[in-house]
């Protein structure tokens, strides 16, 4: 059974699809596609069915990452389905845990920035209402965090 990772932000059109596609890129490079699978979701219903934001896609493409996917909303059953749930910011983290009042799954839910080693940010900033630089910063931060996350998953699941 592959390890299942879910990346979560607010809209599922900027940060979490970037994290998902960056992670898939690293997983393919490491030849671990059989062992780790990724998905993403948003805590809101705002953009259900939408493709990734064009500005986010442009920033990702400049680093060689193509953003694929269609927004969907996070649902309670995701807590059961996924092995690790990575929240982009503290609001996302809280909104995920609101769906787990008994704390049954809380150990699966982590802040994405906990896996970054070269950046000091504790949250992946929401780039939606900002300029181009914000989107580029999201990609840089996520490249760092995804590398750390991959190392952690490889160690935890003994995938070497």
**Site for ligand 4NP, residues 115 to 134, rule: CB under 6 A:** 126, 128
Residue 7: closest CA among 40, 52, 51, 36: 40
46 binds ligand 4NP (CB under 6 A): yes
Residue 4's H or E segment, with its range, is strand 3-9
Contact 17, 6 (CB under 8 A): no
Q: Which stretch binds ligand 4NP (CB under 6 A): 11-19, 31-39, 75-83, 97-105?
A: 11-19
Most distant CA atoms of the chain, gap in Å: 43
12 binds ligand 4NP (CB under 6 A): yes
* Closest distance to ligand 4NP from the beta carbon of 9 (Å): 4
Residue 101's H or E segment, with its range, is none
The label of the residue with tokens 């390890």 reads 3
* Closest distance to ligand 4NP from the beta carbon of 13 (Å): 4
Interface residue with ligand 4NP, options 5, 6, 15, 116 (CB under 6 A): 15
Which residue, 32 or 85, is less far from ligand 4NP as judged by CB?
Answer: 85
Interface residue with ligand 4NP, options 5, 10, 41, 146 (CB under 6 A): 10
Catalytic residues: 9, 15, 126
Could you give the C-alpha distances from 129 to 12, 55, 123, 133, in angstroms and in order? 15, 11, 16, 12
**Site for ligand 4NP, residues 55 to 74, rule: CB under 6 A:** none
24 binds ligand 4NP (CB under 6 A): no
Q: In what order do the strands lie in the sheet with 36-42?
A: 36-42, 3-9, 84-87, 109-111
Q: Which residues bind ligand 4NP (CB under 6 A)?
A: 9-15, 42, 46-47, 126, 128
């Amino acid at each position: 059974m592959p390890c299942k990772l879910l990346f979560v932000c607010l809209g599922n059109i900027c940060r979490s699809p970037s994290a998902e596609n960056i992670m898939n890129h690293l997983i393919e490079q490491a030849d671990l596609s059989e062992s780790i699978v990724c998905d993403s979701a948003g805590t809101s219903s705002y953009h259900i069915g939408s493709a990734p934001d064009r500005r986010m896609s442009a920033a990702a493409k400049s680093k060689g990452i193509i953003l694929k996917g269609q927004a969907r909303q996070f649902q309670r059953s995701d807590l059961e389905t996924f092995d690790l749930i990575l929240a982009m910011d503290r609001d996302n983290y809280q909104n995920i845990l609101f769906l787990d009042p008994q704390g049954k799954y809380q150990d699966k839910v982590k802040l994405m920035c906990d896996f970054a080693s070269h950046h000091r940010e504790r949250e992946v900033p929401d780039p939606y209402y900002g300029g181009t630089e914000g989107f580029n910063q999201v990609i840089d931060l996520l490249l760092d965090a995804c590398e750390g996350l991959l190392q952690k998953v490889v160690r935890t699941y003994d995938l070497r």
